[in-house]
Structure formats: C-alpha cells, structure tokens
Amino acid sequence: MNTLTVDEAAERVVRAAGEARFVLIGEASHGTHEFYALRAELTKRLIEERGFVAVAAEADWPDAYRVNCYVRRGSDDRDADEALTNFRRFPTWMWRNTVVLEFVEWLRRYNERSALPGSFYGLDLYSLHGSIGAVLRYLDDADPDAARRARKRFGCFDRFRADQDGQSYGYVTALGQAEPCEDEVVAQLVELRRRAAELVSRDGHLAADRHFAAEQNARVVVNAERYYRSMFRGRASSWNLRDTHMADTLDALADHLNGPIVVWAHNSHLGDARATEMGRWGELNLGQLVRERHPGRALLIGFSTYEGTVTAASDWGGPAERKGVRPGLDGSWEAYFHQLGDGFGLARDQPALRERRLQRAIGVIYRPESERQSHYFEAVPAEQFDLLIHLDQTRALEPLERESLWEEGEVPETYPSAL
C-alpha cells in the first residue's frame, strides 16, 4: 500500500466526484484535526475545480446561516470568529475550532473573486428555540401581522425550559403531562409556504433567500418538535427522524441553489447504514437516503485512524478534553489498515473490504475504558463508502476556547506527515 500526499488524495477525490451532485465527506470522530483539515482541503478543490456551490454541515440551521451570511457578505460580523459565535451549544468545538475558522475565512475570500459564490448551511434539527427566534425575527420585518400569529402559535412552548432546548418539552409530553405543540408548528410552516410568493415579491432575490431560510427554520421547528417527543420512544425512532430531516434539508438546498453540494458530517451519518450494524437495528442514515434518492449521483467518503489524540468529553455536556486514542482493537478495520501502512484510499470494488469487521466511531464523547462497548460496531467498508481514507496517527482538533483539561491533555510524540 502506498501512502498518499494531501494533493494526491485531493486529486483522487476530485476525479472520483465525476458528475456527482453530492459529495459526502465524513469523520470517524468529532474531534480529530486531520479529518477536519483534509475535508476542508478536499472541499476547496471541489468548489474551485468542480463548481460545488455549498457546504451542508451537521450543524444547526440558524447557527450555520449566520456563517453563510458572513461568507456571502450579508452580515456585520467582523471576522470568522465572530460569525461562528452562535455555536455555543455542546459540543462547541465541533464548529468553533481552528480548522473551520480558517475555512470560513477562505470561503469569504473565494467569494470575493468568484462569479459562483459558495455558501455554508446546517442540516441538523436541535435548534428548536433558536429556529423559533429566527422565524419571528424574519416575520417582524416582513409582516408584523404574521409575526403576531406566529408568536401565538409558538407560545405553546413557553412553559418549557428554553435552556434545555426541546428535551424538557419532549419529556413532559411523553409522560402525557402536556399537549404536544405539533398542530401549531405545522400550521406555521404551512402559512409560510402558502405566502412565499407574496412575501418574496416585495424584495426580489434577497427576499427569496431570506424567506427560504425562514421556511427552513420553520421546518426545523416542526421536525425538532417531533424529534424531542420521539427521544423517549427509543433510539431508532429519533435517529431516523433526525437523518431523514437532514436528507430533506439537503434536497431543499439542492433545489434552492441549483448546484452540487459537499456534506460534512460524522461517518455514522454518511456511511451507508445498510452496510453496518445500524441497519440491523432498524436505523437508516443520511448516506443511505442520498444514495436511494439520487442513484449514481452521490460520492460517500469516510475517514479512519489507528491511534493518536482526540478532542472529546467524558460525559454529555462536559468540558473538551484532549484524550489519548487507543490503538485499534485486534481484528478491527483500524488494525487491518494499520498493518497495510500509513494511509490509503480504497475503492468499493476491492474484495478484501467486503468482509464484516469491527469499526470504531468516536462522537463527542470518548470513553477508552469501555471502548469496545462504547465505540465499535460491525461494518463492511466497501459497501459503506465509495472511498475511505485512513490516517494511521492523528491529533486532537484545536478548539477556539481551550479549557484547562484540553491544555493539560496528552500530546503525541510524533505527528503524521503523510496520509
């Protein structure tokens, strides 16, 4: 197996993209520098050389839309750091990190010289209250009477704690202690859709983009309301609702922008669920849905690593720590790739990758003491991805806000110089 330089990996991805409408680039953890950095470089090449028009990230819509306004010169933010300010929900380091900061500045500079500007959007649905606020701000400006109707509908959530976003709402309604707000939020989305042409006609293209963003926020509220209620009915139900929302949002973006899109999310969302244990659990994911909805028009790219350090928390809501990543378990894909060399790209048609072995996934929490139970599941990479890039040793992603636990964390003795 030959190691790949960054340029060689990027060239291979650009060639493999072909006429793809969607290139989905994953990560095996939410806290690895090399995954983020290489993904950013691949995305730059796709934007510059293949005319990709947007990044759609595993991020909340209103927070990402502030970044979009900055890169499109539609905000008063002074720099990328300020444009990323809305990313305050745990885990902040997913988007408030040095790699994303540099990419956002690059995209803004690119847009200054390009006739085909690039955009940045979010696909996720956690932002119940944030999206409510965004809809109200839009209507306050566009139609005060409609804003009053919206406030009355969204008032259904006033009794629940906003600092917990939708979790307290989901818990109370699941217990039958309060009526769901489903009818109200659906009515609000229907009204926005019905009056789209009327509201947009007042201010041309700018209004069209603003209304699209408001309508997407209203859709987030609808699906977040359902999601938080589904959390208490089992993992498969809430997971499937979330990834279906992401797929629907991606389709809406593709129609709105009329151009190819790069998607940034965790491997668990982008690697076809049918090739993993997830499928046997009744779960689907974004990668599967994109393949099913757009046959032959999607390229799925995954990452893996053998050892190093990672930025992660020990518990949900905990501080960012720089943790040591244990070497891949014997019999895992990580150990298999380690034996082949420092790094590689793989195609779907390699027979060796059609076996079923353990694969590691680190999200925002990493618990090395229970790694087998917490972070491994079975997968067939040749069916899961179209291309997989392994980086044998990796280091922790650098947050913009570094807490003491991160500063005191482990530092690897050597850093990888190739892919």
Q: pLDDT of 278-336, one tens digit each?
A: 999 899 999 999 999 999 999 999 999 999 999 999 999 999 999 999 999 999 999 99
Taking every pair of C-alpha atoms in the chain, what is the biggest distance, in angstroms? 66
Phi, psi dihedral angles at 388 (to 5 degrees): -130, 130
**Side chain identity at residue 329, one-letter code:** L
What pLDDT does residue 416 have? 38
Helix axes 6-17, 33-50, angle to 10 degrees: 50
d(CA 188, CA 106): 37
* Three-state DSSP class for residue 85: coil
Q: Give residue for tokens 């959530």.
A: 157
Q: pLDDT of 175-226, one tens digit each?
A: 777 789 999 999 999 999 998 877 766 554 456 788 999 999 999 999 999 9
pTM over 0.85: yes
DSSP at 326: P
What pLDDT does residue 113 have? 93
Phi, psi dihedral angles at 288 (to 5 degrees): -60, -45
Look at the chain and count its residues: 419
Closest CA to 400 of 106, 108, 104, 118: 104
d(CA 147, CA 188): 10
What pLDDT does residue 321 have? 95
Within 10 angstroms of residue 139's Cβ, the number of other Cβ atoms is 23
Q: Is the pLDDT of residue 394 over 70?
A: yes
What pLDDT does residue 417 have? 31
Q: How many CA atoms lie within 13 A of 153 on its CB side?
A: 24
Spelled out in words, what is the top-level CATH class assigned to the domain 6-123+261-407?
Answer: alpha beta
Q: pLDDT of 64-118, one tens digit each?
A: 999 999 999 989 999 999 999 999 999 999 999 999 999 999 999 999 999 899 9
DSSP at 363: -
| Cβ atoms of 340 and 389 closer than 8 Å | no
Q: Is the pLDDT of residue 346 over 80?
A: no
146 — pLDDT class (breaks 50, 70, 90): very high
d(CA 238, CA 235): 6
Please give the angle made by the CA atoms of 51, 123 and 192, to the nearest 5 degrees.
Answer: 100
What pLDDT does residue 168 have? 80
Closest CA to 94 of 47, 118, 126, 51: 126
- The domain segmentation of the chain, as residue ranges, is 6-123+261-407, 126-234
Q: Is the pLDDT of residue 133 over 50?
A: yes
Q: Is the pLDDT of residue 13 over 80?
A: yes
d(CA 378, CA 354): 12
Closest CA to 414 of 323, 312, 327, 309: 309
